[in-house]
Amino acid sequence: MSNRHRFWKPGFETGDQSTDRPEEGETERTNFVYNPHSSLSIQKQRQRLPIFKNRNHILHLLENYQTLIIVGETGCGKSTQIPQYLLEAGWCSNGMVIGITEPRRVAAITLATRVSEEYGGILGQEVGYSVRFNDNYNPKETKIKFMTEGILVREMMGDPLLRSYSVLMLDEIHERTMYSDIILGLLKKILKKRLDLCLIISSATLEAEMLQEFFNFKNNTIDGIEDTSVILSIEGREFPVDVYYLKEPTPDYVKASVDTAMKIHYSEEKGDILIFLTGQEEVESAVTLLIEHAKEIKQKQNHNKIFVLPMYGALPASDQMKVFQSTPNNVRKIVVATNIAEASLTINGIVFVIDCGFVKLRCYNPYTNTDSLIVVPVSQASAEQRAGRAGRVRFGKVYRLYTEEDYHKLEKNTRPEIQRTSLTSILLQLKALGIDNILRFNFPAPPASKNVINALELLYALGALDDDGKLTNPLGVRMAEFPLHPMFAKMLLVSAEFGCSEEAATIVALLQVQNIFLSPPRQTMQAKKMKYKFSVTEGDHITLLNVYNAFIKQETNKKKWCESNFLHYKGLQRVTEIRNQIIKLLQKFKIKLISSEGDVDTICRCIVAGFFANAAYLHHSGEYKTIRGEHTLHIHPSSVVYSQKQPQWVVFNEVLHTTKEYMRDITVVEASWLYELAPHYYEFGTDREIAENRQKS
């Protein structure tokens, strides 16, 4: 990818128009671009991908090495073609399966769909996928199985040696998610015991040498020492990309991204636009602004139309799929996405990329015991990944909403997730896999010991571990089987004891969707009034429950009802799907489905049973302090508790770090509940005196 830098100002000239053609002395390339609507046969499309010439080389290396590390540029075809090469070469004989892991559910689904189309079968038969709360594969017939990394870890619980797989391919491993690091450590153990299992690690950008050394067991042979891992580099199909920087930083990158997109639309030739923002709220805000521009364009006869689409993790699957659909010649597609579109996903037609320069990451502070969502600058590797989206179909352009000087100050790589987030979920999974000595587990990037200790303390307080650090049965074993954070799992598993399992399932499902309340820029007051109708003094969880119950009661015109109440219709549909899956899991564990029949205190106590670790009290200074660590927090303005009289004690779901550290999804509780339900987690002393004193203060 070329590095021809330009400077521009949002809303003004976007740079030289001539860069759609090769520069003098540059060879014009006519690389093939995958297009499912192309008139070329699928077989010819596959043969024109850059990876095709490496087909035999890949198969040969797998015959001679147990681990193959493939470094291939974005667009070379590694994610879709390698599984098919393995299937064609007979790696699925005797009922064996080829497994491919992806960091995100949308990538697993779209790749499975694409491979199924190329293979000529029905999705869910020979080619299928498995993601959280959604499976589409046949255990008897599926030969190529795409899945999220968390699903593979859960499969290891039932079959620690993964005996049904002949080859495992870990895709986009450079993202270094928490599950990917755990899988790498577990597979190192599995490969030593299963010599017939082969591992492929693929990525666009990767520390290949480190991983080669990690998986190189160096077998002793007659001729000497034989390596068991090897690296293969594959040439991509990137077109040159011009990179533009701001001359001066922008105070509002959401508005700047919209202005830049509209300037591109009015001044550039054909080509779709991809905008990177940090989260759902920013995406929806930008989409709303762009739709207003689209309405203005519609009134002008001399300009092509624009088709605006959001893309983020909490978006329903049906809406996520819309970004992959082609548009008419007179329509320019503008996709506004989070970092979900950085890798794995191939959105056809993208020529222009607008990079805000930030990303929202989950970070854990072991001294305050809070897990926060923080907006931080992207790494240089992520910036290059985003830029690579522009060079897929022809010469592209990238507009970075930061200065070139700031780019060179960025970290080279994103810090591995396992070193910056709470380890509670992953340690529970490791315990379920029989790994008791966590500190001696072979992590590719070892986490801080303080994080490990805090996670073990919380699991013990939740009842998942006994005094010896062993998994408790049945509670700990069942918690490990839930595809949810242990706090959610504990809340669900004890909900029948409180007599509110139906309400608990609903609340947990609601919390898996980022936001069901809509707040259009020009209708914020009306949206607040409608939200107030559902609000209760007990807090956000019960408010969400009221919304869902009202939604279910609407027998007809649910969509119109959601629009009039400023609610996310597709989001509530997704909540219903997740709730049904949770109910099935509760029935599997023979948890009785009981309703509290309107007893709100019962529901709040059940929430405390799972979320006691996320508790805060009102300090005499007027701020909230966490009980452990005395860390200062604030109520988020979007919370229904924000406009009420400040409660003395609250529990919260997560912390969002922007200008301050805000608690989100809050429930008002009593201090006595915390003492009763978590006496060992907090240092209340021998009686309730400390808790009562804090309540009085």
| 231 burial level (CB within 10 Å; 0-12, 13-18, 19+) | middle
Q: pLDDT tens digit string along 484-536?
A: 999 999 999 999 999 999 999 999 999 998 778 987 767 888 988 999 999 99
Position 101 scores a pLDDT of 96
Comparing 618 with 312, the larger pLDDT belongs to 618
Q: Band the pLDDT of 248: cuts 50, 70, 90.
A: very high
Given this model, what pLDDT does residue 238 score?
65
Residue 490: its H or E element: helix 486-493
Give the tens place of pLDDT for each residue, 15-47: 433 333 333 333 332 233 334 434 456 777 778
Residue type, 411: E
**pLDDT-derived band of residue 221, with 50, 70 and 90 as boundaries?**
low
Q: How far apart are CA 69 and CA 228, in angstroms?
A: 11
Residue 225: what pLDDT? 62
- Are 558 and 551 in contact by the 8 Å Cβ rule? The answer is yes
Please check whether residue 128 is in contact with residue 137, taking contact to mean a CB–CB distance below 8 angstroms. Answer: yes
pLDDT in tens, 147-163: 999 999 999 988 999 99
**Do 548 and 575 form a contact (C-beta atoms < 8 A)?**
yes
Residue 102 forms beta bridges with which residues?
148
Is a pLDDT exceeding 50 seen at residue 615?
yes
Task: Give pLDDT, residue 205.
Answer: 64
Model pLDDT, residue 412: 87
- What pLDDT score was predicted for residue 27? 30
Which pLDDT belongs to residue 688? 41
Asked if residue 387 lies in contact with residue 355, where contact means CB atoms within 8 angstroms, the answer is yes
- The mean pLDDT of 563-571, rounded to a whole number, is 91
Q: Are 312 and 337 in contact (CB under 8 A)?
A: yes
Q: How high is the pLDDT of residue 12? A: 43
End-to-end CA distance of the chain: 61
The per-residue DSSP string of 380-419 comes to: HHHHHHHHHGGGSSSSEEEEESS-HHHHHHS-SSPPPGGG
The answer to whether residues 493 and 479 touch, using CB atoms and an 8 Å cutoff, is yes
Chain mean pLDDT for the chain: 85
> What is the C-alpha to C-alpha distance for residues 682 and 689, in angstroms, rounded to an integer?
13
State the Cα–Cα distance between residues 358 and 282, nearest whole angstrom: 12
Q: Taken in order 434, 440, 446, 452, is the CA torsion positive or negative?
A: positive
Rounded mean pLDDT, 47-62: 89
Q: How far apart are CA 621 and CA 632, in angstroms?
A: 10
Residue 7 has pLDDT above 80, yes or no: no
Length in residues, the chain: 697
Written as one letter, the residue type at 126 is: E
Read off the pLDDT of residues 652-677 as tens digits, 9 standing for 90 and up: 998 888 778 899 999 999 999 998 99
The type of residue at 694 is R
Residue 235 pLDDT class (50, 70, 90 cuts): confident
Task: Provide the token pair at 521.
Answer: 């820029």
Exposed, middle or buried, 489 (CB in 10 Å: 0-12/13-18/19+)?
buried
